[in-house]
Amino acid sequence: MSKLRVGVIFGGRSGEHDVSLMSGRSVMSALDPSKYEIVPIAITHEGRWLSGSDALDGLQNGRIDDLIPVVMLAEPGSRSLYRWDEGKALEVLATIDVVFPLIHGSFGEDGTLQGLLELAELPYVGSGVLASAVAMDKGLFKSLMRAHGVPVLDFTVLSSAQMENDPDLTLDQAEAVAPYPLFTKPANLGSSVGVSKCRSRSDLVEGMLDALRYDRRVLVERGLEAREVEVSVLGNEEPQASVAGEVVPSDEFYSYRAKYLDDASELRIPAPIDQATTEEARRLALIAFHAIDGAGMARVDFLLDKTTGELFLSEVNTIPGFTRISMYPKLWQASGVTYPNLLDRLIDLGVRRHAQMERLVREYGGEA
């Protein structure tokens, strides 16, 4: 059988650019060369699309002059990546059978990239436009979880316009969520970028302004002395939930530094929690995945109240970190699915979902 040509997309325009490079490197090194032909697609901070065998190293080290400018057309049929030289006709650089998007955060995990791939009718790994957008928007996501009976912490969403027009009223609205401490987060981002723990109004001002550097809306959420519990989900219409794991952050909370920089956070797999709590986390993870119409993969994060034992769903990551030490693949490894096999299953799920979508009728000719 011929090899599947997998377009691995990494980098991107979000604050999680560097995390995406780590995920891209890990996935490309683990894809079985007897099954797959890799087409690396690097996206710079500025949004330029580049390719080449050393695209990842070139992007990471700032040596992009030797890389090939490319473009993907939002037009079905060709499944092509085109060489793009200004003033010259487009030339097919590579054809692609399936895309593995590994861009975390804005312009990659939020449905925008998925929209391009849908227009191009290219199979891809992971959730579609709707699920990606809903999961990325923390406020909308929490409202949807409440509608499905999934417990979430008290929150509100405020905008940069509100903060500029009436900062005192906006801060009052934020403080009405709950007593301090409060957490501030960009409404559309992940990897703990722009997240702050606020113990006072001055902290709140700083936290909101920092979050609003990354998004025009900020989520303000009740703080909680909590343990961080995570569950991985794999599948399409009949997803499975992994064993639960616990993150013991080296920082006061699971900050960007604790996740990626200091190597001192601890991952406990399986999580040292009672069986009832484990099963409840797995149950709620599947409810959340179905509620957003998730596909392929997701990591579902929970907060477990240290005092009461209550479980609160924090967020669903539709493109979770994908290094070998990331929680998503490690939870599946503990559940009996190796890293290479996990990649195989995800690619197969993406191809199968696309085949299902292709069977849909796209024209309507009225009543027969």
| Window from 102-111, 285-294, 347-356 with minimum mean pLDDT | 102-111
* CA pair distance 207, 62, nearest whole angstrom: 31
Joined tokens for residue 74: 């939002």
130 in a structural domain: no
Q: Please say if the pLDDT value at position 316 is more than 70.
A: yes
pLDDT, average across residues 236-260? 78
Contact status, residue 217 vs residue 187, Cβ threshold 8 Å:
yes
Other Cβ atoms less than 10 A from the Cβ of 263: the count is: 8
Residues 320-341: tens digit of each pLDDT: 999 888 999 999 999 999 999 9
The CATH number of the domain holding residue 207 is 3.30.1490.20
Q: Say whether both 324 and 339 belong to one domain.
A: yes
344 versus 193: which is more confidently predicted? Answer: 344
What angle, 0 to 180 degrees and rounded to 10, lies between the N-to-C axes of helices 327-334 and 339-358?
Answer: 100
Strands 68-71 and 226-235, how do they pair?
unpaired
Residues of the chain by 3-state class (helix, strand, coil), percent to 5: 35, 25, 40
Instruction: Please identify, among 222, 244, 263, the residue that sits at the C-terminal boundary of a domain.
Output: 222
Residues 135-182: tens digit of each pLDDT: 999 999 999 999 999 999 999 999 999 999 999 999 999 999 999 999
129 in a structural domain: no
Identify the pLDDT of residue 366. 65
Percent of the residues in the chain that have a pLDDT greater than 70, as a whole number? 94
DSSP state for residue 265 in the 8-state scheme: -
pLDDT, average across residues 228-257? 86
Number of domains in the chain: 3
142 in a structural domain: no
Strands 98-101 and 4-11, how do they pair?
parallel
Joined tokens for residue 83: 């060489």
Contact status, residue 56 vs residue 42, Cβ threshold 8 Å:
yes
364 in a structural domain: no
CA–CA distances in Å: residue 231 to residues 185, 219, 245: 22, 23, 7
* CA pair distance 194, 14, nearest whole angstrom: 12
Identify the pLDDT of residue 275. 97
pLDDT confidence band for 255 (50 / 70 / 90): very low
22 in a structural domain: yes
61-85: burial string, b at 16+ Cβ within 10 Å, e else: eeebeebbbbebeeeeeebbbbbbe
pLDDT, average across residues 28-33? 97
| Window from 19-33, 44-58, 177-191, 221-235 with minimum mean pLDDT | 177-191
Identify the pLDDT of residue 332. 98
Q: Say whether both 216 and 230 belong to one domain.
A: no
Identify the pLDDT of residue 249. 81
Instruction: Please identify, among 106, 124, 142, the residue that sits at the C-terminal boundary of a domain.
Output: 124
Q: Say whether both 75 and 88 belong to one domain.
A: yes
Q: Say whether both 170 and 292 belong to one domain.
A: no
Identify the pLDDT of residue 259. 53
Q: Say whether both 305 and 262 belong to one domain.
A: yes
The CATH number of the domain holding residue 102 is 3.40.50.20
Q: Say whether both 274 and 298 belong to one domain.
A: yes
Q: Say whether both 186 and 235 belong to one domain.
A: no
238 in a structural domain: yes
Sheet holding 196-198, edge to edge: 155-159, 217-222, 182-186, 196-198
The CATH number of the domain holding residue 331 is 3.30.470.20
Q: Please say if the pLDDT value at position 363 is more than 90.
A: no
Q: Say whether both 105 and 163 belong to one domain.
A: no
Q: Say whether both 212 and 232 belong to one domain.
A: no
CA–CA distances in Å: residue 323 to residues 19, 97, 101, 250, 296: 9, 23, 14, 19, 17
Residues 262-305: tens digit of each pLDDT: 566 789 999 999 999 999 999 999 999 999 999 999 999 999 99
144 in a structural domain: no
Sheet holding 266-268, edge to edge: 266-268, 240-248, 226-235, 296-305, 311-317
pLDDT confidence band for 189 (50 / 70 / 90): confident
Q: For residue 336, what are the domain limits?
A: 226-356
pLDDT, average across residues 193-217? 94
| Alpha carbon of residue 113 to chain centroid | 12
366 in a structural domain: no
CA–CA distances in Å: residue 58 to residues 42, 84, 88, 221: 9, 18, 24, 39
Residues 51-86: tens digit of each pLDDT: 999 999 999 999 999 999 999 999 998 899 999 998
pLDDT, average across residues 179-188? 94
Q: Say whether both 43 and 62 belong to one domain.
A: yes
Instruction: Please identify, among 71, 103, 124, the residue that sits at the C-terminal boundary of a domain.
Output: 124
Mean pLDDT taken over the chain = 93
Q: Say whether both 230 and 345 belong to one domain.
A: yes
Q: Say whether both 236 and 346 belong to one domain.
A: yes
| Window from 57-71, 80-94, 197-211, 245-259 with minimum mean pLDDT | 245-259
pLDDT, average across residues 129-140? 96
pLDDT confidence band for 233 (50 / 70 / 90): very high
